[in-house]
């Protein structure tokens, strides 16, 4: 096998790739899913408390409210504008601070302030806004709170849904680039007869297969890395994430190559991709529903690459914690090589 011929064939595929519909589709799909999941679902499932303020006396509470993290604070000019906004659920709550409020609090008086709540606001947001408001009033009074609250989390901390969707997006990046691109490229050349013309020359079948695998391998690494960057999920260990992506790309490119070798026509390719796609996608579902028995996902091959990506990139765990999963993924990749060599004659059929 000539390494130079393999590299030339791979460069040729990259050169003509941008003119191929399957290449463009594979490139755009992860970006489209990122826009959909992160901007639509991310904002939908993570609503922040929205507080409206009307300050009639230049209160210190207003300045403190502006510095609140995780809040959407809006300053309004009139009480009518505030009540209308709360009624329409533009805000979860509204607070009106009367003139001299701070001075009355410091003097030990108990001034009234108007506090409005939207009937459609989440109960959690109501509680958060109410407690935060009382803490800001206590700060104006200049006294420490009568109690200190210590929060103890029991069980595994939950993750936002848009973060749990990262494995879905990465899966599609790997599937489209590692599985779809090399298999589609191989089947297209089968149908056009260009593979037969290549074999007539000094190029061997194994060199063609190696070039197609390298095409999917390199494309997967780049696209998976870009997908993680777009979703801000590259984690604190970028080099270790790249190593995990490299192993994942090797496996997905091998699966794609096998599908391309076995498929005689584009119709057969579509059928195989649809059938196997459901099987390959199954382990990703378990990240959306963590209460499901996680051991079931281990029966599916792509679990052994999605799990390391999840742990190292999203959860920030060290590479040493996923060595077994990576080892299994490499074993699966190597185990598919004899099957590929057994089916290589189908390339010219």
Instruction: Place 39 in a pLDDT band, splitting at 50, 70 and 90.
Output: low
Question: Does 151 score more than 60 pLDDT?
Answer: no
Which stretch of 126-135, 139-148, 271-280, 336-345 has the lowest confidence by average pLDDT? 139-148
Instruction: Place 146 in a pLDDT band, splitting at 50, 70 and 90.
Output: low
In contact, 191 and 266? CB cutoff 8 Å: yes
Residue 161, pLDDT score: 61
pLDDT in tens, 68-113: 877 888 899 888 998 998 988 888 889 888 888 888 888 878 787 7
CB atoms within 10 A of CB 335: 11
Query: Residue 154 — φ and ψ, nearest 5°?
Result: -105, 135
Instruction: Give the residue, 64 or 148, on which the prediction is more confident.
Output: 64
Architecture of domain 48-141 in this structure: 3-Layer(aba) Sandwich (3.40)
Residue corresponding to tokens 């993750």 = 159
CA geometry: angle at 224 spanning 222 and 229, to 5°?
95
Q: Where are the domains of the chain?
A: 3-41+160-348, 48-141
Residue 77, pLDDT score: 86
Residue 59, pLDDT score: 86
Question: Does 156 score more than 50 pLDDT?
Answer: no
Taking residues 10-19, what's their average pLDDT?
79
Taking residues 274-284, what's their average pLDDT?
85
Rounded CA-CA distance 342/299 in Å is: 25
Length of the chain: 349
Residue 240, pLDDT score: 92
* pLDDT averaged over every residue in the chain: 82
Bridge partners (DSSP) of residue 75 are 53
pLDDT in tens, 135-144: 888 787 776 6
Question: Does 152 score more than 60 pLDDT?
Answer: no
Taking residues 257-277, what's their average pLDDT?
87
Residue 349, pLDDT score: 61
In contact, 173 and 219? CB cutoff 8 Å: no
Torsion of CA 15, 19, 24, 25, to 10 degrees: -130
């Amino acid at each position: 096998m000539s390494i130079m011929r393999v590299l030339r064939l791979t460069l040729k595929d990259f050169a003509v790739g941008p003119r191929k519909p399957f290449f463009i589709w594979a490139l755009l799909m992860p970006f489209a899913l990122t826009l959909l999941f992160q901007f639509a679902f991310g904002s939908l499932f993570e609503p922040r408390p929205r507080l409206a303020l009307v300050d009639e006396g230049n209160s210190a509470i207003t300045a403190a409210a502006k510095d609140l993290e995780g809040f959407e604070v809006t300053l309004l000019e009139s009480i009518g504008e505030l009540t209308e906004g709360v009624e329409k659920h533009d805000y979860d709550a509204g607070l009106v601070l009367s003139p001299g409020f701070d001075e009355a609090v410091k003097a030990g008086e108990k001034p009234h302030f108007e506090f409005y709540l939207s009937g459609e606001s989440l109960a959690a947001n109501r509680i958060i806004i109410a407690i935060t408001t009382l803490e800001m009033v206590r700060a104006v009074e200049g006294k420490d709170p009568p109690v200190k609250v210590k929060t103890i989390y029991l069980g595994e901390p939950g993750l936002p849904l848009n973060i749990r969707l990262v494995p879905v997006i990465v899966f599609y990046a790997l599937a489209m680039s590692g599985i779809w691109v090399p298999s589609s490229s191989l089947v297209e050349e089968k149908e056009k007869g260009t593979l037969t013309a290549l074999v007539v020359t000094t190029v061997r079948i194994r060199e063609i297969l190696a070039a197609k695998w390298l095409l999917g391998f390199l494309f997967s690494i780049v696209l998976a890395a870009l997908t993680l960057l777009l979703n801000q999920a590259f984690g604190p260990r970028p080099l270790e994430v790249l190593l995990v992506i490299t192993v994942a790309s090797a496996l997905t490119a091998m699966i794609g190559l096998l599908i391309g070798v076995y498929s005689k026509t584009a119709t057969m390719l579509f059928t195989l991709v649809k059938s196997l796609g459901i099987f390959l996608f199954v382990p990703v579902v378990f990240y959306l529903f963590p209460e499901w028995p996680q051991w079931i996902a281990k029966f599916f091959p792509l679990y052994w690459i999605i799990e390391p990506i999840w742990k190292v990139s999203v959860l920030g765990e060290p590479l040493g914690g996923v060595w077994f999963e990576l080892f299994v993924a490499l074993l699966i990749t190597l185990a598919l090589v004899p099957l590929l060599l057994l089916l290589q004659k189908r390339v010219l059929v």
